[in-house]
Amino acid sequence: MVKFLLLSSSSSSFIFIIIIIIIIITFCSQLCPHPKGFLCTNSPWPAANIPNHLLFLAGGHINPAVSFAMCLFGRMKWFKFPFYVGAQFLGAFVGAATLFGVYYDGLMAFAGGKLLIVGENATAHIFATYPAPYLSLTNAFADQVVATMFLLMVVFAIFDSRNLGVPRGLEPIAIGLLIIVIASSLGLNSGCAMNPARDLSPRLFTALAGWGFEVFTAGNNFWWIPVVGPMVGAAIGGLIYVLVIEIHHPDPEPDFETEQSEDKLDKYELKQLDK
């Protein structure tokens, strides 16, 4: 039974991240011809994250930073972490490859058959995030840590049934709005990836598909920032929520615990998920 649930959740993560990568890259390729356009980077995220968090309610998730925080704070067992993360990275790679195939002719026509990383006709930014010219690595790292910290703090709050949560079934909408707020506020510097799989796997695909391994050296070797920064931010965000809010919850009454088990299994089970 445990193996079946693990396979089901990992497979769901794999499928849903393919869908989300397709949504994001399709939006960028059709509406955003110029690198690092603010709307290009941020507009598809809220819509793409609604199916993501519908998946979350079912026990899956597509962000390695979220998976890491869940394991770190006891929401999920550590042995499941590599399965989730493997599915997330593989799904993002397959999603990027799918869109490259669908839009191959358009990508070739856009820059006269060249796949460019920088310049007016650059297309690498469609697949992964790149820093603004003024951005230092230190500032970029802080940007990703802070953005993901806010993300995890609010995600933990939304799925904590002992907190004042959103109405049942509207959690995906709430997190979509959260993505709008974070991306609109913190997306200008480098695109506000907040998800190592969403950035690293498509970047690796572009390196293999013709853009070259300069995708890893562009922006003063920026590539590791959207990978490490979200992991650090997730740990900090989860720790802040636990220390500032979670440990201060009053002990529930016995009747309340019974009601939780019967009526609100989908909420605080973020704490108990997969144990």
Domain ranges, ordered by start, for the chain: 2-272
The domain over range 2-272 is classified in CATH as 1.20.1080.10: yes
Q: What is the pLDDT of residue 39?
A: 46
- What's the predicted TM-score (pTM) here? 0.79
Letter string b/e over residues 224-248, b meaning 16 or more CB atoms within 10 A of that residue's CB:
ebbbebbbbbbbbbbbbbbeeebee
**Positions of the chain with pLDDT under 70:** 1-60, 252-275
φ, ψ at 158 (rounded to 5°) = -65, -40
Q: What is the pLDDT of residue 18?
A: 62
- By CB neighbour count within 10 A (0-12 exposed, 13-18 middle, 19+ buried), where does 97 fall? middle
The helix (run of H) or strand (run of E) holding residue 216 is none
What does the pLDDT read at residue 22? 56
In the chain, % helix, strand, coil (3-state, to 5) comes to 70, 0, 30
Whole-number pLDDT of residue 16: 53
Q: What is the pLDDT of residue 185?
A: 87
Q: How confident is the model at residue 166, as a pLDDT?
A: 79
d(CA 77, CA 57): 17
Position 21 scores a pLDDT of 59
